[in-house]
Chains A and B, each alone.
Chain A
Amino acid sequence: MPDVEALREPRRHPRASAIIAASSRVAWADLRTIYTPLTWTVGWLGRIVMQVVFYALIGTLLGDHRTFVFLFVGQAVMACVMEVFMSIASTTWERGAGTLPLLTAAPGSLWPVFVGRSLQWLPSGAATACVALFVVGPFLGVSWSLPTAPLAAAAVLLTGASMYPFALTIAAYALRRPGWRNVLSSVASTVTMLICGVTVPLEFWPTWVHTLANALPITHGLDAVRTLQSVTITGSALPQLGWTALSGIAWFAIAVCAFNVFGAAGRRDGSIGFGD
């Protein structure tokens, strides 16, 4: 009698980095399908710049240039985060495409697939925010100094990257309710705008709201960008950047758990392909 165990192929568990690299290829392909260079520039970038200007103009209504700059910087950084929140929708596309049961059955973990799957929004978001801040901003009186501007650009990218796992955590829930993906994304985005110092300083809110806001990386990242916009010493924003990265790492761990819980629950009750 042949040795059945010897005939079995050894179980191979692909490395997480290899899965992320593979699924990110889908992300870039998606980006190329959604936008051409022209539609990205005219359609998306134009829209984002107008959104930033729309909010900043409230400073004009209030007759206060400081409010104008505050709203401009806040909305520009928020633009990057808003785009990162699109990963909530793009995560659920796998469910719509019918590939989620296959991904769950595959030997690799589910979380690296989704970490790579929506990476396309991050460079696009950071680019739109940087164009608003460093190209449009100076025309409207939002000035930058040379040593701080590159660090502010890095801070925008770090803020987007740190908010990405937060968006993925919501996305893990949206996989159960794909019909609500756009609502979840919009509500998360508006609540973030409301409490994280994007439109009003954190001090406006009661202490318990501070605690919530401080748990989100954008609160620290945006604070860093604001500091870099108002000073010329690059080191002054380092503590905020540290908090941004730390809170991003914490959200990454939560996102991994959320996808693991989703996968385990789906296998247990057979609900992977049958959400609403």
Chain B
Amino acid sequence: MMRQTWRFITAGFYFQLRMMRGKPDWFLALITAPLSTAVFLTIFLHAERQDLTAYAVLGPALIALWQMSLVTAGELITFERENGTLEALVAAPARFSAVLFGRILAVCGVSLFAFVESWAVGWAVTGRPESINRPVILAATLLLTVLAMAGWAGVMACVFVLARSARTFQNALSYPFFVLGGVIVPEALLPEWLQWPAKLVFLSWSSDLLRASLSASPATNVSLRLLAIAILGVAGYLLAAVLLERTLRRVRQTGSLAHA
């Protein structure tokens, strides 16, 4: 059973990579990430705050990760519906959720390239590469962040099936979460009434830990913060599983698979 599920996931993963080839829209976030990095870097350089350039390097990469994962991956089901292939995918013997997860994972994996881009732009603009002082923390945070992102992208994929207009959700999904996720301005600097909702966004834990991994100062409560990302990620998977099951049951019952 596990082996079969893994096969479905890898099939979805490779299928998505093939689908993305030669289609610039899938890579929109990766194309704009270097420019966004330059925007944030120039703000900090103009303010003569070279100590904050790490923020400018990590922020656009996290934004690209979020946009590609939640927005693009969330649209996967919509794309299949428009393509007229959603019915066949749902009716196929392979578990739809496993194939979908593999595809979302492919998008999330590709989006990690934004970190390399931003880091390279940071080096080119400031003339010095941003040092990675704690590579283990960086790697662990990135891994957990991508997995958590894939879970929440699954949630969005389900919401998009039933939403009248996916675009509206896409619009509402970006900047409110960049503020709450502390991608540039740490959650601790937000007004107090916003700090609690920010703690419920796994991105706020990720961005803090990623900044800590580049910082020369010692990182505190690392395990606890990694655990927070993991818990919020698992919450995404559980919600995605429940929503997908309910969504598929509902669209099968109402016969609205292609027109929800």
Q: CB of A230 within 8 A of chain B?
A: no
CB distance from B52 to the nearest CB of A (A): 7
Pick the contact of A60 from B32, B47, B189 — CB < 8 Å?
A: B189
CB distance from A183 to the nearest CB of B (A): 5
Residue in A61, A180, A182, A183 whose Cβ sees the most chain B Cβ within 10 Å: A61
Residue of B31, B32, B171, B176 with highest tally of chain A CB at under 10 A: B171
| Given A46-B176, A47-B175, A60-B185, A191-B42 contact (CB < 8 Å) | no
Cβ distance B35 to chain A, nearest Cβ, rounded Å: 4
Inter-chain contact B171/A194, CB cutoff 8 Å: no
A106 at the interface (CB under 8 A from B): no
Is A214 interfacial (CB-CB < 8 Å)?
no
Interface residue? B205 (CB, 8 A): no
- Contact flag A61-B176 (CB < 8 Å), given A183-B25, A183-B31, A200-B46: no
Q: Which of A34, A43, A190, A204 is B36 in contact with, Cβ under 8 Å?
A: A190
A54 to B203, CA, bound (A): 15
Between B23, B31, B169, B175, the greatest number of chain A beta carbons within 10 A of the residue's beta carbon is seen for B175
A61 near B55 (CB under 8 angstroms)? Answer: yes
* Bound form: Cα–Cα A58–B179 in Å: 10
A271 at the interface (CB under 8 A from B): no
Contact between B32 and A54, CB atoms less than 8 A apart: no
Interface residue total, chain B, C-beta cutoff 8 A: 36
Q: Is A234 an interface residue, CB under 8 A from the partner?
A: no
Interface contact B39-A187, CB-CB below 8 Å: no
The distance in angstroms between the C-alpha atoms of A57 and B178, with both chains bound, is: 11
Contact with B along A31-53 (1 / 0, CB 8 A): 00011000100111011001101
Which of these, B25, B32, B43, B185, contacts A187 with CB under 8 Å? B32
Q: Which residues in A have their C-beta under 8 angstroms from that of B190?
A: 57
Contact across chains for A179 and B171 when beta carbons are under 8 A apart = no
User: Among B25, B42, B168, which residue has its beta carbon within 8 angstroms of that of A204?
Assistant: B42
B49 neighbours in A (Cβ, 8 Å):
62
| B179 and A50 contact, CB distance less than 8 A | yes
* Contact A187 B176, beta carbon cutoff 8 Å: no
Known A183-B24, A183-B28: A43·B172 in contact at CB below 8 Å: yes
A54 with B184: CB separation less than 8 A: yes
Give Cα A226 to B94, complex, Å. Answer: 58
From residue 185 to 236 of chain B, which have CB atoms closer than 8 A to chain A? 185-186, 189-190
A199 to B59, CA, bound (A): 16
CA distance A51 to B172 in the complex (A): 10
Q: Verify if A216 is at the interface (C-beta below 8 Å from B).
A: no
Whether A57 pairs with B189 at a CB distance below 8 angstroms is: yes
Closest to B56 in A: A58
Nearest opposing residue in chain B for A71, CB measure: B43
Q: Do residues A190 and B35 form an inter-chain contact, with CB atoms below 8 A?
A: yes
Could you tell me if A43 and B168 are in contact, using CB atoms closer than 8 angstroms? yes
Write out the residue numbers on chain B whose beta carbons fall within 8 Å of the beta carbon of A187: 31-32, 35
Cα distance A164–B60 in the bound complex, in angstroms:
27
User: In the complex where A61-B184, A186-B31 touch, is A194 in contact with B175 (Cβ < 8 A)?
Assistant: no
A54 and B28 form a contact (CB under 8 A): no
The answer to whether A34 and B167 touch (CB under 8 A), given A61-B52, A182-B28, A186-B28, is: yes
Q: Which residues of B are found within 8 Å of A275, using beta-carbon distances?
A: none
Query: In the assembled complex, which residues on chain A have CB atoms less than 8 Å from the CB atom of B31?
Result: 183, 186-187
Is A67 an interface residue when CB atoms closer than 8 A count as contact? yes
Residues of B within 8 A of A191 (CB): 35
**Closest CB in chain B relative to A216 CB, distance in Å:** 16
Contact A57 B184 (CB under 8 A): yes
User: Which A residue sits closest to B173, measured CB to CB?
Assistant: A47
Q: Which of A180, A194, A200 contacts B24 (CB 8 A)?
A: A180
CB <8 Å contact, A47 and B171? yes
Give chain A nearest CB distance to B197 CB in angstroms.
13
Most central of A47, A57, A58, A193 by chain B CB within 10 Å: A58
B258 to chain A, nearest CB (A): 19
The complex places the Cα of A35 from the Cα of B167 at a distance, in Å, of 10
| Nearest-Cβ distance from residue B21 to partner chain A, whole angstroms | 13
Given A57-B179, A187-B32, A204-B45, 15 other A-B residues pairs in contact with their CB atoms under 8 A: A43-B168, A46-B172, A47-B171, A47-B172, A47-B174, A57-B184, A57-B185, A61-B55, A61-B186, A64-B47, A182-B24, A183-B31, A190-B32, A194-B38, A204-B46
A/B interface sample: 12 pairs, CB < 8 A: A42-B168, A43-B172, A47-B174, A50-B176, A51-B175, A57-B184, A58-B40, A61-B185, A179-B23, A183-B31, A190-B36, A204-B45
B interface residues with partner A (beta carbon < 8 Å): 23-25, 28, 31-32, 35-36, 38-40, 42-47, 49, 52, 55, 165, 167-169, 171-172, 174-176, 178-179, 184-186, 189-190
